[in-house]
């Protein structure tokens, strides 16, 4: 059983260490070095991909990673010499983590977030290695590449890199505060927020003009996390962003789906000062003014209001204000007003359980309504919550819902 | 042939309120705890969401959330001369099943017993003389006082976020609360619920008659609440589908909404669902429990060794498992000797239905909650002089109507209405919105008697071939007189609300296993200070097997005029504290009084 | 090839079970609250259509009985048009009709009223026996007519004789069947329409019950006011139409 006191102590140490993250390192024998690596491993959420769900073998790989092109299996990164990375040189490790160069010249797919991890200094990267060297080696062979032709040809990745990958460690931006720069380093570097939240083009490269403005993946929509007023974090205070990353919950919002996992494994264990820095940086990311959507039809809004009153208001309240910390607010909620309604449709059709954390352990769940509501009815109630109480977002159509229903039905997670 | 599992520090039988509380307290103390529960896991969003939870047929009539009699039942008779017959379908009480136990489908009426209840025998004997008690009445003192339990009542109420108005804060009487309650160390965690029309009308009528009405303490919350474990609850929406049902919006205090989210996160806790404990195993000397044997859902038998065994099943099944495991001496009603099965009792409930002028009164009975209500306590316990009445004990009474569910509610029609046909239909139409009907409007105590007891049935068996429990139970003159008196007092208030007609329904004998009378069964493995007439010491520790603690209302020596859950939970916290602070320092030994 | 690999698999799992003594068949809760996406357990909607349990003659008799127990009036349908017989038919065809989940351990022997019903005859069987006996009674007493074809006053006479026990079924008082029938008919009349009765929520409209709603926060302290909204059922929401 992990002692909370010990954990807090470690985090306090790390919060200090984190400020000096790019400075010269302690010696390799230093205990603090392993601990710094462990912290960066948490910030980088390495376990999310490199540990199979439900497995007790941490970092032994094998978890399927969905990409738009097919499924990859995350490799074993324990120090096992044969099937893990125990035999790798430091250079090979740093190359893989920060430049996507695999052992023996092979090239990694950017499901491995080396385009973000490149912001790490060599020393940061080696602290991660120091930590990974301390975990039990697991003999667990994983064949990472499960992609269909032509994506199975790794050679193509070199060309991809030329187009979409800018290598290089993080450089502080002059004129911005130390906190802002720390936040920038975390968001663009180890936290690799853009991996989910930045839209991708058809080759999976970042659409850099829409940086952090939201992207649909794994049956969800990772929302806009710029300071965009309606669908982004414009109405969030930095305190709310910190609380959300720490506990998975704010008065109005709850993390579920892939973000629930991120909070549980990563950001809930990060130092408060780092989360504050993240919030400061995100709040400084300009949004993109969306044109006002056309108002939905009265028929749809009337039906949506009736469905909402009968099925939703007992938790989310007739005013759309929810119950702080328990049932998310829908009025004014950025997630509800996302350009892409995938997450909203996901929770209505499949239900969801919000994340449980030390400070917010309740993990209330939303029931599935797939059995009750037709595609048109889901569309009506979704359109209603996206446009009631001063909200504004494009209407959802029955055929959008039909597609979502079919896609979700095939999901195995 | 059972297979043996690795030993645990603690094995808990049953994951209802007491199992959840004990698991939480003992995992906090660092012990490795496994809970074994014969029912399924139950979760708000998938088992009773708002979209299909309000279903009277499924949950109320077809007993969706309850134990199936096919899985475990009992036999019943009124007296020693009869042959007990199986209870084939539930009637007089409802038995919970699965995670949360009866805590899932309870009303959430969260009362404390009165200080005199814990020494009821001494108290009435002192006030009225020993001869006031019938010869065959076997009531006895609990061996614990209200003051000792107060901090534990407080913990449970703050766990649940109980909504209410204090009547006695540290000895100072408070306006609007129950002036007869024992002193409480602090106010209720949340204010009382709002009250619907008929409930406020009852309070007004009671006040006019000189009583001091107060809101019933409610685990349906008046506002959102975060408990000391960090678990959050929502506000009750007065849906009227509370008791017999699961709550769809996290607003009824249940193990699910207060403890389980925190408990399941602990690495030293595990729950095994759909596994039924078939016996508690003892060592050769029979003085130490070595663990339990259980059968999983595919019929495999397992032995779970443990240092400490906590029996946290429902009252009936606590007693059955003790008898089946050969722990303690079975009670013999003829000699009065033996401890296991003695002092079984229930609750003496009754009501009076008021029919009002539909042109003047519209009660909207469907706007309600499981533990809503305005009550008076003037006729409970010994709050009034019993001298002239020829009985002891009492009960609270109130307009505690929980619902307007039509199958149930339309059974209440003015006396003389035919059971079918056009006149029946017209009466249903005319009375639904203007009838005051609280099924347990009068919530009376039930004393214990020599021939009300539990033992093993000689004939009928459960699905594993084990003998069913046999219940021998009847209502005695003391309770029938009490019920007549209390029901009269209650009917006066209903009349004073402005009813056109009041139909009194006092409890009548013989005890009827088909008529619902609350699920507040108690006794059978009672606590006390004398191993000669009790199964457990004052910490709920078995006199016979000191590493076994038996939780729940099976420990009550007799029932008081209040709902039992508050006291059941307070005793669980009290027992947990004793385990942590006394027992674990000297495990395997009886705790000194 | 397939057989060999399956065998291999079975052998491997048996070994695993043997080596790892864990209760592999229990549903084990640890670490987190369980969650299954899309999991729900709503009631199954009764569809109109032919009788599932009743014969056509039985169905006609129960419809006629229900329509006298709960007669139609100008505002509200009677038991027949409300679907009470369909409700009973589907209930008898399901777990309720079979005594599923009840304690059915032998022996069965008669007891006191307070000990509750002790018959092994299931509701489905009871209806079959009782409706046959009722049919014989009617044909014998009313010129070979079945119950459904009797005039209203004669039907009421028969029901009254069932109620007071003067009609015998299998040698026993007909009042047991009357009680069962009345209970089931009322349940069909007032239960959620998803179960086949209470058509269009007619009974709820009649009494002013708003149905399967879950939020009356705005109404708890609006005393002595008529609740204005019409009822809704589980999966029956007239105002959701698009």
Q: How many residues does chain C have?
A: 242
Number of cross-chain residue pairs from A and C with Cβ atoms under 8 Å apart: 59
* Rounded distance between C-alpha atoms, residue A301 and residue A401, angstroms: 16
Taking contacts as CB-CB distances below 8 angstroms, the residues of chain A near B250 are 315, 326, 362, 364
Taking contacts as CB-CB distances below 8 angstroms, the residues of chain B near A1 are 30, 266-268
Q: Which of C126, C152, C156, C216 to mutate to test the interface with B (most CBs of B within 10 A)?
A: C216
How many other C-beta atoms are found inside a 10 Å radius of the C-beta of residue A295? 10
Among A32-36, A82-86, C223-227, the range with the most confident prediction by mean pLDDT is C223-227
CB contact under 8 A, A315 and B44: no
Taking contacts as CB-CB distances below 8 angstroms, the residues of chain A near B268 are 1
Establish if B233 touches chain A: CB-CB under 8 angstroms.
yes
Closest to C203 measured CA to CA, from C115, C45, C76, C21: C76
Residue A343 in tokens: 């997450």
* Rounded distance between C-alpha atoms, residue B428 and residue C182, angstroms: 15
Contacting subunits of B (3+ beta carbon pairs below 8 A): A, C
Residue C41 in tokens: 């357990």
Establish if B326 touches chain A: CB-CB under 8 angstroms.
no
What is the pLDDT confidence band of residue A148, given thresholds at 50, 70 and 90? Answer: low
Chain B CA closest to residue C237: B51
Assess whether pLDDT exceeds 90 at residue A146.
no
* CB nearest B231 (choices: A311, A362, A365): A362
**Pairwise pLDDT comparison (A160 vs C169), residue with the higher score:** C169
Q: What pLDDT is stored for residue A145 in this prediction?
A: 67
| A198 CA to centre of own chain | 10
Q: Chain C window 187-206: which residues touch A at a Cβ cutoff of 8 Å?
A: none
Over chain B, what is the mean pLDDT?
A: 97
- Between A16-25, A119-128, B197-206, B526-535, the lowest mean confidence (pLDDT) is in A16-25
> What residues contact residue A228 under an 8 Å CB cut-off, 6+ apart?
A213, A234, A287, A288, A289, A290, A334
Taking contacts as CB-CB distances below 8 angstroms, the residues of chain A near B230 are 359-362
pLDDT digits (tens, 9 = 90+) for C162-174: 999 999 988 888 9
What is the pLDDT confidence band of residue A3, given thresholds at 50, 70 and 90? Answer: very low
pLDDT digits (tens, 9 = 90+) for B95-117: 999 999 999 999 999 999 999 99
pLDDT digits (tens, 9 = 90+) for B195-226: 999 999 999 999 999 999 999 999 999 999 99
CB contact under 8 A, C38 and A299: no
pLDDT digits (tens, 9 = 90+) for B329-377: 999 999 999 999 999 999 999 999 999 999 999 999 999 999 999 999 9
* Rounded distance between C-alpha atoms, residue B25 and residue B577, angstroms: 8
Sign of CA dihedral A101, A102, A103, A106: negative
Establish if A258 touches chain B: CB-CB under 8 angstroms.
no
CB contact under 8 A, A365 and C39: no
CB contact under 8 A, B410 and C213: no
CB B218 within 8 A of CB B162: yes
pLDDT digits (tens, 9 = 90+) for B138-175: 999 999 999 999 999 999 999 999 999 999 999 999 99
Assess whether pLDDT exceeds 70 at residue A7.
no
Closest to A187 measured CA to CA, from A127, A116, A235, A240: A116
* Rounded distance between C-alpha atoms, residue B465 and residue B501, angstroms: 52
Residue range C146-162: mean pLDDT, rounded: 97
Contacting subunits of C (3+ beta carbon pairs below 8 A): A, B
CB contact under 8 A, C115 and B271: no
Q: What pLDDT is stored for residue A412 in this prediction?
A: 83
Assess whether pLDDT exceeds 70 at residue A87.
yes
Residue B72 in tokens: 């475990």
* Rounded distance between C-alpha atoms, residue C212 and residue B78, angstroms: 40
- How large a percentage of chain C has pLDDT more than 90? 84
Q: What pLDDT is stored for residue A14 in this prediction?
A: 41
Q: What pLDDT is stored for residue A162 in this prediction?
A: 76
Taking contacts as CB-CB distances below 8 angstroms, the residues of chain C near B62 are 95-96
Catalytic residue among B123, B346, B476, B520: B520
What is the pLDDT confidence band of residue B401, given thresholds at 50, 70 and 90? Answer: very high
Residue range B269-283: mean pLDDT, rounded: 97
CB contact under 8 A, C113 and B88: no
Q: Within 13 Å and on the Cβ side, how many CA atoms surround B463?
A: 14
Assess whether pLDDT exceeds 50 at residue A190.
yes
What is the pLDDT confidence band of residue A155, given thresholds at 50, 70 and 90? Answer: low
Taking contacts as CB-CB distances below 8 angstroms, the residues of chain C near B427 are none
Q: What pLDDT is stored for residue A27 in this prediction?
A: 54
* Burial label, A410 (beta-carbon count in 10 A; 0-12, 13-18, 19+): exposed
Establish if C214 touches chain A: CB-CB under 8 angstroms.
yes
pLDDT digits (tens, 9 = 90+) for C198-219: 999 999 999 999 999 999 999 9
Establish if C239 touches chain A: CB-CB under 8 angstroms.
yes
CB contact under 8 A, B275 and C111: no
CB contact under 8 A, C40 and A351: yes
Q: What pLDDT is stored for residue A206 in this prediction?
A: 84
Check if B123 is active-site.
no
CB contact under 8 A, B266 and A363: no
Q: What pLDDT is stored for residue A28 in this prediction?
A: 53
* Rounded distance between C-alpha atoms, residue C191 and residue C201, angstroms: 9
pLDDT digits (tens, 9 = 90+) for A268-295: 999 999 999 999 999 999 987 677 888 9
Residue at token pair 């991708």: A200
CB B375 within 8 A of CB B216: yes
Phi, psi values for residue B522, rounded to 5°: -150, 170
pLDDT digits (tens, 9 = 90+) for A27-75: 555 678 889 999 999 999 999 999 988 788 899 998 888 777 778 889 9
CB contact under 8 A, A351 and C37: yes
Establish if C44 touches chain A: CB-CB under 8 angstroms.
no
**Pairwise pLDDT comparison (C16 vs B217), residue with the higher score:** B217
Angle, CA B396 vertex, CA B392 and CA B400 arms, to 5°: 150
Q: Which of C96, C209, C218 to mutate to test the interface with B (most CBs of B within 10 A)?
A: C209
Residue range A88-103: mean pLDDT, rounded: 90
Residue range B178-190: mean pLDDT, rounded: 98
Establish if A365 touches chain C: CB-CB under 8 angstroms.
yes
CB contact under 8 A, A326 and B233: yes
* Rounded distance between C-alpha atoms, residue C174 and residue C161, angstroms: 8
Q: What pLDDT is stored for residue A25 in this prediction?
A: 44
CB C86 within 8 A of CB C46: yes
Chain C CA closest to residue A405: C38
Q: Which of C219, C223, C227, C233 to mutate to test the interface with B (most CBs of B within 10 A)?
A: C223
* Rounded distance between C-alpha atoms, residue A388 and residue B161, angstroms: 32
Residue range B33-56: mean pLDDT, rounded: 97
Taking contacts as CB-CB distances below 8 angstroms, the residues of chain C near B300 are 23, 25
């Amino acid at each position: 059983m992990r002692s909370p006191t010990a954990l807090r102590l470690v985090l306090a140490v790390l919060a200090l260490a984190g400020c000096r993250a790019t400075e010269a390192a302690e010696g390799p024998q230093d205990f603090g070095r392993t601990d710094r690596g462990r912290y960066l491993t948490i910030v980088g959420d390495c376990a999310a991909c490199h540990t199979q769900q439900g497995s007790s073998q941490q970092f032994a790989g094998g978890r399927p990673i969905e990409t738009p092109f097919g499924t990859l299996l995350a490799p074993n990164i324990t120090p096992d010499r044969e099937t893990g990375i125990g035999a790798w040189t430091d250079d090979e490790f740093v190359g893989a983590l920060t430049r996507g160069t695999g052992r023996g010249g092979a090239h990694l797919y950017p499901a491995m977030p080396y385009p973000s991890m490149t912001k790490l200094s060599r020393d940061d990267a080696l602290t991660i290695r120091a930590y990974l060297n301390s975990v039990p080696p697991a003999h667990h062979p994983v064949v990472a590449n499960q992609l269909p032709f032509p994506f199975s040809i790794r050679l193509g990745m070199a060309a991809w890199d030329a187009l979409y990958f800018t290598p290089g460690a993080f450089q502080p931006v002059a004129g911005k505060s130390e906190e802002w720069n720390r936040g920038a380093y975390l968001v663009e570097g180890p936290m690799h927020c853009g991996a989910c939240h930045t839209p991708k083009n058809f080759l999976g490269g970042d659409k850099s003009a829409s940086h952090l403005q939201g992207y649909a993946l794994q049956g969800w929509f990772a929302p806009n996390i710029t300071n965009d007023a309606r669908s982004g974090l414009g109405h969030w205070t930095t305190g709310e962003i910190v609380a959300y990353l720490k506990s998975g919950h704010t008065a109005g919002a709850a993390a579920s789906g892939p973000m629930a996992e991120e909070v549980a494994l990563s950001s809930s264990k990060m130092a408060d000062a780092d989360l504050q820095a993240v919030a400061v940086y995100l709040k400084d990311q300009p949004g993109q003014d969306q044109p006002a959507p056309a108002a939905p039809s009265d028929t749809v809004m009337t039906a949506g209001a009736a469905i909402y009153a009968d099925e939703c208001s007992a938790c989310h309240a007739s005013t759309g204000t929810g119950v702080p910390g328990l049932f998310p607010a829908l009025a004014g909620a950025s997630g509800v007003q996302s350009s892409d309604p995938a997450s909203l449709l996901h929770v209505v059709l499949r239900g969801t359980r919000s994340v449980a954390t030390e400070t917010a352990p309740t993990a209330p769940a939303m029931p599935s309504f797939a059995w009750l509501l037709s595609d048109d009815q889901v569309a009506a109630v979704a359109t209603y919550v996206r446009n009631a109480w001063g909200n504004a977002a494009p209407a959802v159509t029955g055929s959008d819902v039909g597609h979502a229903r079919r896609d979700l039905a095939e999901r195995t997670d | 042939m059972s297979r043996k599992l690795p030993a645990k520090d603690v094995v808990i039988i049953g994951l209802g309120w007491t199992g959840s509380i004990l698991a939480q307290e003992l995992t906090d103390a660092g012990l490795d705890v496994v809970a074994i529960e014969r029912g399924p896991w139950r979760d708000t969003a998938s088992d009773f969401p708002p979209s299909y939870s309000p279903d009277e047929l499924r949950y109320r009539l077809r007993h969706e959330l309850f134990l199936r009699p096919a899985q475990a039942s009992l036999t019943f008779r009124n007296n020693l001369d009869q042959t007990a017959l199986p209870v084939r379908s539930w009637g007089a009480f409802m038995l919970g099943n699965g995670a949360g136990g009866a805590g899932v489908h309870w009303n959430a009426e969260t009362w404390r017993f009165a200080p005199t209840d814990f020494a009821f025998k001494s108290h009435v004997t002192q006030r009225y003389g020993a001869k006031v008690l019938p010869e065959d009445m076997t009531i006895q003192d609990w061996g614990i006082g209200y003051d000792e339990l107060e901090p534990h009542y407080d913990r449970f109420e703050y766990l649940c976020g109980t909504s209410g108005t204090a009547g006695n804060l540290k000895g100072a009487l408070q306006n609007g609360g129950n002036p007869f309650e024992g002193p409480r160390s602090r106010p209720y965690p949340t204010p009382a619920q709002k009250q619907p029309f008929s409930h406020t009308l009852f309070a007004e009528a009671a006040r006019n008659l000189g009583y001091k009405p107060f809101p019933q303490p409610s685990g349906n919350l008046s506002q959102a609440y975060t408990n000391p474990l960090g678990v959050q609850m929502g506000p009750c929406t007065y849906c009227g589908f509370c008791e017999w049902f699961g709550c769809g919006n996290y607003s009824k205090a249940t193990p699910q909404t207060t403890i389980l989210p925190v408990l399941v996160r602990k690495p030293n806790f595990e729950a095994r669902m759909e596994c039924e404990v078939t016996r508690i195993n003892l060592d050769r000397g029979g003085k130490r429990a070595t663990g339990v044997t259980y059968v999983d859902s595919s019929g495999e038998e397992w032995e779970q060794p443990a240092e400490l065994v906590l029996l946290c099943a429902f009252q009936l099944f606590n007693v059955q498992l003790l008898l089946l495991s050969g722990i303690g001496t079975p009670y013999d009603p003829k000699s009065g000797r033996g401890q296991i099965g003695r002092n079984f009792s229930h609750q003496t409930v009754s009501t009076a239905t008021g029919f009002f002028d539909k042109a003047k009164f519209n009660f909207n009975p469907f706007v309600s909650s499981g533990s809503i209500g305005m009550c008076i306590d003037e006729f409970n316990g010994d709050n009034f002089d019993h001298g002239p009445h020829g009985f002891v004990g009492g009960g609270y009474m109130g307009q505690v109507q929980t619902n307007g569910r039509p199958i149930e509610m339309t059974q209440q029609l003015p006396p003389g209405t035919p059971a079918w046909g056009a006149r029946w239909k017209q009466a249903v139409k005319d009375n639904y919105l203007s009838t005051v009907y609280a099924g347990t409007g009068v919530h009376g105590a039930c004393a214990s008697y020599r021939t009300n007891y539990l033992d093993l049935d000689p004939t009928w068996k459960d699905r594993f071939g084990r003998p069913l429990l046999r219940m021998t139970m009847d209502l005695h003159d003391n309770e029938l007189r009490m019920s007549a008196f209390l029901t009269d007092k209650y009917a006066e208030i209903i009349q004073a609300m402005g009813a056109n007609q009041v139909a009194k329904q006092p409890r009548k004998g013989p005890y009827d296993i088909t008529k619902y009378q609350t699920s507040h069964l108690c006794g059978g493995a009672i606590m006390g200070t004398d191993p000669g007439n009790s199964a457990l010491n004052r910490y709920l520790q078995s006199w016979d097997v000191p590493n076994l603690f038996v939780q729940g209302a099976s420990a009550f020596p007799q029932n008081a005029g209040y709902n039992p859950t508050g006291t059941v939970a307070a005793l669980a916290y009290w027992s947990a504290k004793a385990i942590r602070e006394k027992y674990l320092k000297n495990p395997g030994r009886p705790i000194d009084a | 090839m397939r057989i060999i690999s399956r065998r291999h698999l079975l052998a491997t799992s048996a070994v695993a079970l043997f080596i790892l003594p864990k209760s592999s068949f229990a549903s084990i809760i640890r670490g987190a609250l369980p969650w299954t996406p899309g999991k729900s357990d709503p009631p199954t909607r009764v569809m109109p259509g032919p009788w599932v349990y009743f014969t056509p003659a039985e169905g006609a008799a129960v419809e006629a009985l229900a329509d006298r127990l709960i007669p139609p009036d100008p505002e509200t349908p009677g038991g027949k048009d409300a679907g009470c017989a369909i409700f009973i038919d589907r209930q008898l065809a399901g777990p309720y009709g079979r005594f599923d989940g009840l304690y059915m351990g032998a022996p069965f022997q008669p007891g006191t009223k307070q000990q509750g019903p002790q018959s092994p005859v299931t509701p489905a069987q009871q209806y079959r026996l009782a409706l046959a006996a009722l049919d014989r009674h009617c044909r014998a007493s009313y010129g070979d007519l079945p119950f459904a074809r009797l005039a209203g006053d004669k039907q009421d006479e028969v029901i009254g004789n069932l109620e007071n026990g003067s009609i015998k079924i299998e040698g026993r008082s007909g009042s047991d069947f009357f009680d069962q029938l009345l209970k089931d008919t009322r349940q069909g009349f007032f239960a959620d329409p998803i179960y086949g009765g209470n058509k269009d929520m007619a009974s709820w409209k009649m009494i002013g019950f708003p149905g399967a709603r879950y939020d009356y926060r705005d109404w708890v302290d609006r005393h002595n006011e008529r609740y204005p909204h019409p009822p809704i059922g589980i999966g029956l929401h007239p105002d959701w139409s698009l």
